[in-house]
Amino acid sequence: MRFSTAVRNITRRRLERLGSADILIGVPCFNNETTIRKVVATIEAGLMKYFPEHRSVVVIADGGSVDDSREEAEELERSAWIERITTIYRGVPGKGSAVRAIFESAHILDAKVCALFDSDLRSMTPEWVKCMVDPVLKNEYDFITPYYTRYKYDGTITNNIVYNLTRALYGYQVRQPIGGDFSFSAHLVKKYIDQQVWETNVGRFGVDIWLTTMAMVDKVRIAQANLGVKIHDVKDPAEALGPMFRQVVSTLLTLMEDNESTWKKVKGSKPVPIIGPSLSVEPQSFSINVDKLIADYQMGYDHFREIWKKIIQPESFKVIENLKTGSKENFHFPVEVWVKVLYDLAVTYHH
Protein backbone atom coordinates (compact mmCIF):
# COMPACT_ATOMS: atom_id res chain seq x y z
CA MET A 1 0.00 0.00 0.00
CA ARG A 2 1.32 3.44 -0.92
CA PHE A 3 0.61 6.49 1.22
CA SER A 4 0.16 9.82 -0.52
CA THR A 5 0.16 11.60 2.84
CA ALA A 6 1.11 10.85 6.44
CA VAL A 7 -1.58 13.15 7.88
CA ARG A 8 -4.90 11.58 8.82
CA ASN A 9 -8.05 13.27 7.54
CA ILE A 10 -9.29 14.29 10.98
CA THR A 11 -5.93 15.91 11.75
CA ARG A 12 -5.87 17.68 8.39
CA ARG A 13 -9.31 19.18 9.08
CA ARG A 14 -8.15 20.42 12.46
CA LEU A 15 -5.06 22.02 10.91
CA GLU A 16 -7.15 23.66 8.21
CA ARG A 17 -9.43 25.15 10.88
CA LEU A 18 -6.37 26.65 12.58
CA GLY A 19 -5.41 28.31 9.30
CA SER A 20 -1.81 29.34 9.97
CA ALA A 21 1.03 29.36 12.49
CA ASP A 22 4.45 30.96 12.90
CA ILE A 23 6.15 28.05 14.68
CA LEU A 24 5.42 24.34 14.55
CA ILE A 25 7.33 21.95 16.77
CA GLY A 26 6.97 18.23 16.14
CA VAL A 27 7.69 15.31 18.44
CA PRO A 28 7.99 11.87 16.77
CA CYS A 29 6.84 9.38 19.38
CA PHE A 30 6.58 5.63 19.95
CA ASN A 31 6.18 4.01 23.37
CA ASN A 32 7.72 6.93 25.28
CA GLU A 33 5.27 7.23 28.17
CA THR A 34 8.04 7.87 30.74
CA THR A 35 9.51 10.88 28.92
CA ILE A 36 6.94 12.37 26.54
CA ARG A 37 5.16 14.48 29.20
CA LYS A 38 8.38 16.29 30.20
CA VAL A 39 9.43 16.84 26.59
CA VAL A 40 6.10 18.39 25.59
CA ALA A 41 5.90 20.48 28.78
CA THR A 42 9.44 21.80 28.20
CA ILE A 43 8.71 22.66 24.55
CA GLU A 44 5.59 24.59 25.51
CA ALA A 45 7.41 26.35 28.36
CA GLY A 46 10.09 27.43 25.87
CA LEU A 47 7.50 28.72 23.42
CA MET A 48 5.69 30.70 26.13
CA LYS A 49 8.92 32.14 27.52
CA TYR A 50 10.69 33.10 24.30
CA PHE A 51 7.98 33.38 21.61
CA PRO A 52 4.83 34.63 23.36
CA GLU A 53 3.97 36.97 20.48
CA HIS A 54 4.02 34.17 17.88
CA ARG A 55 1.33 31.65 17.08
CA SER A 56 2.71 28.19 17.95
CA VAL A 57 1.55 24.62 17.40
CA VAL A 58 2.96 21.42 18.92
CA VAL A 59 2.34 18.18 17.01
CA ILE A 60 2.96 14.78 18.63
CA ALA A 61 3.21 12.30 15.74
CA ASP A 62 2.77 8.86 17.27
CA GLY A 63 3.53 5.49 15.70
CA GLY A 64 0.63 3.67 17.34
CA SER A 65 2.15 3.37 20.82
CA VAL A 66 0.79 0.51 22.91
CA ASP A 67 1.70 2.25 26.17
CA ASP A 68 0.20 5.52 27.45
CA SER A 69 2.37 7.91 25.41
CA ARG A 70 -0.53 9.72 23.73
CA GLU A 71 -2.52 9.93 26.96
CA GLU A 72 0.49 11.32 28.85
CA ALA A 73 0.93 14.04 26.21
CA GLU A 74 -2.76 14.92 26.17
CA GLU A 75 -3.17 15.10 29.97
CA LEU A 76 -0.81 18.06 30.27
CA GLU A 77 -2.43 21.36 31.18
CA ARG A 78 -2.97 23.38 28.02
CA SER A 79 -1.91 26.93 27.30
CA ALA A 80 -4.38 29.30 25.68
CA TRP A 81 -1.62 30.47 23.32
CA ILE A 82 -0.31 27.10 22.11
CA GLU A 83 -2.25 24.54 20.09
CA ARG A 84 -1.36 20.91 20.82
CA ILE A 85 -2.28 18.11 18.42
CA THR A 86 -1.65 14.42 19.15
CA THR A 87 -2.12 12.15 16.15
CA ILE A 88 -1.19 8.72 14.83
CA TYR A 89 0.61 9.13 11.51
CA ARG A 90 -0.06 7.14 8.35
CA GLY A 91 2.71 5.34 6.47
CA VAL A 92 5.45 2.78 6.99
CA PRO A 93 6.31 2.30 10.68
CA GLY A 94 9.22 4.47 11.72
CA LYS A 95 10.45 7.90 12.69
CA GLY A 96 10.58 9.07 9.08
CA SER A 97 6.83 8.72 8.65
CA ALA A 98 6.32 10.72 11.85
CA VAL A 99 8.60 13.43 10.45
CA ARG A 100 6.64 13.41 7.20
CA ALA A 101 3.39 14.00 9.12
CA ILE A 102 5.02 16.87 11.02
CA PHE A 103 6.38 18.45 7.81
CA GLU A 104 3.01 18.18 6.10
CA SER A 105 1.36 19.79 9.13
CA ALA A 106 3.86 22.66 9.02
CA HIS A 107 3.21 23.12 5.30
CA ILE A 108 -0.58 23.15 5.75
CA LEU A 109 -0.17 25.90 8.38
CA ASP A 110 2.46 27.76 6.31
CA ALA A 111 4.69 27.81 9.41
CA LYS A 112 7.81 30.00 9.17
CA VAL A 113 9.88 27.47 11.12
CA CYS A 114 9.47 23.78 11.86
CA ALA A 115 11.51 22.08 14.59
CA LEU A 116 11.82 18.46 15.72
CA PHE A 117 12.64 17.13 19.19
CA ASP A 118 13.04 13.48 20.16
CA SER A 119 10.48 12.09 22.59
CA ASP A 120 13.01 10.31 24.84
CA LEU A 121 14.96 13.42 25.91
CA ARG A 122 15.71 13.72 29.62
CA SER A 123 17.95 16.81 29.62
CA MET A 124 15.94 19.20 27.47
CA THR A 125 15.41 22.77 28.73
CA PRO A 126 13.22 25.65 27.42
CA GLU A 127 16.44 27.24 26.13
CA TRP A 128 16.75 24.44 23.58
CA VAL A 129 13.59 25.75 21.93
CA LYS A 130 15.06 29.25 21.67
CA CYS A 131 18.39 27.97 20.28
CA MET A 132 16.72 25.83 17.61
CA VAL A 133 13.86 28.13 16.57
CA ASP A 134 15.17 31.70 16.80
CA PRO A 135 17.89 31.60 14.07
CA VAL A 136 15.46 30.18 11.50
CA LEU A 137 12.64 32.51 12.54
CA LYS A 138 15.02 35.46 12.02
CA ASN A 139 15.90 34.07 8.57
CA GLU A 140 19.57 33.64 9.49
CA TYR A 141 19.69 29.90 8.72
CA ASP A 142 17.64 27.26 6.90
CA PHE A 143 18.76 24.17 8.79
CA ILE A 144 19.91 23.78 12.40
CA THR A 145 21.46 20.60 13.76
CA PRO A 146 22.15 19.97 17.45
CA TYR A 147 25.61 20.24 18.96
CA TYR A 148 25.71 18.10 22.10
CA THR A 149 28.26 17.29 24.75
CA ARG A 150 28.02 13.50 24.79
CA TYR A 151 29.77 10.72 26.66
CA LYS A 152 32.52 9.30 24.46
CA TYR A 153 30.76 5.93 24.02
CA ASP A 154 27.32 7.43 23.36
CA GLY A 155 26.42 7.62 19.68
CA THR A 156 28.01 4.45 18.32
CA ILE A 157 26.83 4.83 14.73
CA THR A 158 27.47 8.59 14.67
CA ASN A 159 31.02 8.42 16.04
CA ASN A 160 32.24 5.47 14.01
CA ILE A 161 30.51 5.91 10.66
CA VAL A 162 28.07 8.74 10.03
CA TYR A 163 29.94 11.86 11.17
CA ASN A 164 33.21 10.78 9.58
CA LEU A 165 31.84 9.64 6.24
CA THR A 166 29.45 12.59 5.91
CA ARG A 167 32.25 15.05 6.60
CA ALA A 168 34.56 13.34 4.12
CA LEU A 169 31.95 13.14 1.35
CA TYR A 170 30.17 16.49 1.59
CA GLY A 171 32.74 18.72 3.25
CA TYR A 172 30.67 19.95 6.22
CA GLN A 173 31.83 19.51 9.82
CA VAL A 174 28.39 18.75 11.26
CA ARG A 175 29.09 16.82 14.45
CA GLN A 176 25.63 15.28 14.94
CA PRO A 177 24.20 14.49 11.49
CA ILE A 178 21.70 12.04 13.04
CA GLY A 179 21.20 13.93 16.30
CA GLY A 180 17.41 13.73 16.12
CA ASP A 181 16.68 17.35 17.05
CA PHE A 182 16.56 19.75 14.08
CA SER A 183 14.90 22.90 12.79
CA PHE A 184 14.03 23.94 9.23
CA SER A 185 12.88 26.91 7.20
CA ALA A 186 9.54 26.74 5.37
CA HIS A 187 11.06 26.35 1.90
CA LEU A 188 13.31 23.50 3.08
CA VAL A 189 10.30 21.70 4.58
CA LYS A 190 8.48 21.98 1.23
CA LYS A 191 11.51 20.57 -0.59
CA TYR A 192 11.60 17.56 1.75
CA ILE A 193 7.88 16.85 1.39
CA ASP A 194 8.14 16.68 -2.39
CA GLN A 195 10.78 13.91 -2.39
CA GLN A 196 9.62 10.39 -3.29
CA VAL A 197 11.48 8.63 -0.46
CA TRP A 198 8.97 8.27 2.34
CA GLU A 199 8.32 4.55 1.85
CA THR A 200 12.01 3.64 1.73
CA ASN A 201 14.31 3.36 4.77
CA VAL A 202 13.99 7.15 5.05
CA GLY A 203 10.48 6.50 6.35
CA ARG A 204 11.91 4.23 9.05
CA PHE A 205 15.16 5.18 10.82
CA GLY A 206 17.12 6.62 7.90
CA VAL A 207 15.40 9.99 8.04
CA ASP A 208 17.95 11.94 10.13
CA ILE A 209 20.92 11.30 7.84
CA TRP A 210 18.72 11.98 4.82
CA LEU A 211 17.61 15.35 6.19
CA THR A 212 21.19 16.40 6.92
CA THR A 213 22.66 15.12 3.66
CA MET A 214 20.01 16.79 1.50
CA ALA A 215 20.65 20.12 3.29
CA MET A 216 24.37 19.76 2.54
CA VAL A 217 23.82 18.79 -1.10
CA ASP A 218 21.47 21.75 -1.59
CA LYS A 219 24.03 24.03 0.12
CA VAL A 220 21.47 25.70 2.36
CA ARG A 221 22.52 27.88 5.30
CA ILE A 222 23.48 25.42 8.07
CA ALA A 223 24.37 25.99 11.73
CA GLN A 224 24.76 23.88 14.86
CA ALA A 225 22.94 24.85 18.06
CA ASN A 226 24.94 24.36 21.25
CA LEU A 227 22.50 22.46 23.49
CA GLY A 228 24.88 21.09 26.12
CA VAL A 229 24.50 17.56 27.45
CA LYS A 230 22.05 15.20 25.79
CA ILE A 231 20.61 12.70 28.22
CA HIS A 232 18.18 10.28 26.63
CA ASP A 233 17.42 6.57 26.60
CA VAL A 234 21.00 5.52 25.92
CA LYS A 235 21.79 2.42 23.91
CA ASP A 236 24.67 0.20 24.95
CA PRO A 237 26.49 -0.59 21.69
CA ALA A 238 26.66 -4.21 22.85
CA GLU A 239 22.86 -4.37 22.67
CA ALA A 240 20.78 -4.72 19.51
CA LEU A 241 21.40 -1.76 17.19
CA GLY A 242 20.91 -3.98 14.14
CA PRO A 243 17.74 -2.57 12.51
CA MET A 244 18.75 1.05 13.15
CA PHE A 245 22.27 0.35 11.87
CA ARG A 246 21.02 -1.23 8.65
CA GLN A 247 18.52 1.52 7.91
CA VAL A 248 20.86 4.42 8.72
CA VAL A 249 23.87 3.01 6.89
CA SER A 250 21.92 1.80 3.86
CA THR A 251 20.38 5.29 3.56
CA LEU A 252 23.83 6.84 3.89
CA LEU A 253 25.23 4.60 1.12
CA THR A 254 22.17 5.11 -1.10
CA LEU A 255 22.67 8.87 -0.76
CA MET A 256 26.32 8.33 -1.70
CA GLU A 257 25.07 6.72 -4.91
CA ASP A 258 22.52 9.46 -5.61
CA ASN A 259 24.92 12.34 -4.98
CA GLU A 260 28.07 11.05 -6.65
CA SER A 261 28.38 14.15 -8.83
CA THR A 262 28.36 16.32 -5.70
CA TRP A 263 30.88 14.58 -3.44
CA LYS A 264 33.37 13.87 -6.23
CA LYS A 265 33.97 17.65 -6.42
CA VAL A 266 34.48 18.10 -2.66
CA LYS A 267 37.98 18.76 -1.35
CA GLY A 268 38.51 18.90 2.41
CA SER A 269 35.87 20.10 4.86
CA LYS A 270 34.80 23.39 6.40
CA PRO A 271 33.61 24.27 9.90
CA VAL A 272 29.89 24.86 10.41
CA PRO A 273 28.96 27.72 12.80
CA ILE A 274 28.10 26.73 16.38
CA ILE A 275 25.50 29.12 17.75
CA GLY A 276 24.03 29.60 21.19
CA PRO A 277 25.56 30.03 24.65
CA SER A 278 28.94 28.60 25.58
CA LEU A 279 28.29 25.72 27.97
CA SER A 280 30.73 23.94 30.26
CA VAL A 281 29.09 20.67 31.26
CA GLU A 282 30.14 17.06 31.67
CA PRO A 283 28.10 14.24 30.11
CA GLN A 284 26.85 11.31 32.14
CA SER A 285 28.86 8.11 31.75
CA PHE A 286 27.35 4.66 31.40
CA SER A 287 28.74 1.14 31.43
CA ILE A 288 29.66 -0.78 28.28
CA ASN A 289 29.55 -4.56 28.05
CA VAL A 290 32.95 -4.98 26.39
CA ASP A 291 32.96 -8.77 26.81
CA LYS A 292 29.72 -9.03 24.82
CA LEU A 293 31.04 -6.68 22.12
CA ILE A 294 34.11 -8.84 21.59
CA ALA A 295 32.09 -12.07 21.75
CA ASP A 296 29.74 -10.68 19.09
CA TYR A 297 32.73 -9.72 16.96
CA GLN A 298 34.12 -13.24 17.18
CA MET A 299 30.75 -14.77 16.36
CA GLY A 300 30.39 -12.39 13.41
CA TYR A 301 33.79 -13.45 12.15
CA ASP A 302 32.84 -17.13 12.36
CA HIS A 303 29.59 -16.55 10.44
CA PHE A 304 30.72 -14.05 7.81
CA ARG A 305 34.47 -14.43 7.28
CA GLU A 306 34.07 -15.82 3.75
CA ILE A 307 31.92 -12.85 2.73
CA TRP A 308 34.24 -10.38 4.49
CA LYS A 309 37.24 -11.95 2.77
CA LYS A 310 35.70 -11.31 -0.64
CA ILE A 311 34.89 -7.65 -0.07
CA ILE A 312 37.66 -6.37 2.23
CA GLN A 313 41.21 -5.68 1.06
CA PRO A 314 43.63 -8.50 2.05
CA GLU A 315 45.77 -6.33 4.34
CA SER A 316 42.68 -5.10 6.21
CA PHE A 317 41.20 -8.58 6.41
CA LYS A 318 44.44 -9.80 7.99
CA VAL A 319 43.90 -7.35 10.86
CA ILE A 320 40.32 -8.58 11.26
CA GLU A 321 41.54 -12.18 11.26
CA ASN A 322 44.18 -11.52 13.92
CA LEU A 323 41.67 -9.82 16.20
CA LYS A 324 39.58 -12.99 16.23
CA THR A 325 42.15 -14.87 18.29
CA GLY A 326 43.64 -12.00 20.31
CA SER A 327 42.97 -11.22 23.95
CA LYS A 328 40.46 -8.66 25.18
CA GLU A 329 43.24 -6.59 26.73
CA ASN A 330 45.02 -6.26 23.36
CA PHE A 331 41.92 -5.79 21.20
CA HIS A 332 42.58 -2.75 19.04
CA PHE A 333 41.06 -1.98 15.64
CA PRO A 334 43.30 0.69 14.01
CA VAL A 335 41.47 3.77 12.75
CA GLU A 336 43.21 3.64 9.36
CA VAL A 337 42.03 0.07 8.81
CA TRP A 338 38.48 0.95 9.83
CA VAL A 339 38.43 3.78 7.27
CA LYS A 340 39.50 1.40 4.48
CA VAL A 341 36.90 -1.17 5.56
CA LEU A 342 34.15 1.47 5.38
CA TYR A 343 35.11 2.34 1.82
CA ASP A 344 35.33 -1.35 0.91
CA LEU A 345 31.74 -1.72 2.15
CA ALA A 346 30.66 1.34 0.16
CA VAL A 347 32.21 -0.11 -3.00
CA THR A 348 30.45 -3.45 -2.36
CA TYR A 349 27.13 -1.64 -1.85
CA HIS A 350 27.71 0.20 -5.13
CA HIS A 351 28.23 -3.04 -7.06
**CA 63 to each of CA 12, 88, 98: distance values in angstroms, whole numbers, following the listed order:** 17, 6, 7
What percent of the chain clears pLDDT 90, i.e. is strictly above it? 78
> Regarding predicted confidence, which is higher, 330 or 147?
147
Question: What are 168-178's pLDDT values in tens digits?
Answer: 999 999 999 99
- The amino acid occupying position 147 is Y
Query: How large is the average pLDDT for residues 287-299?
Result: 89
Residues whose CB falls within 8 Å of the CB of residue 336, separated by 6 or more in sequence, listed in order: none
* Model confidence, pTM: 0.92
Q: CB of 177 within 8 A of CB of 251? A: no
- For the chain, give the mean pLDDT: 92
Residue 326 pLDDT level (bands cut at 50, 70, 90): confident
Which class would CATH give 9-275? alpha beta
Domain residue spans in the chain? Answer: 9-275, 290-350
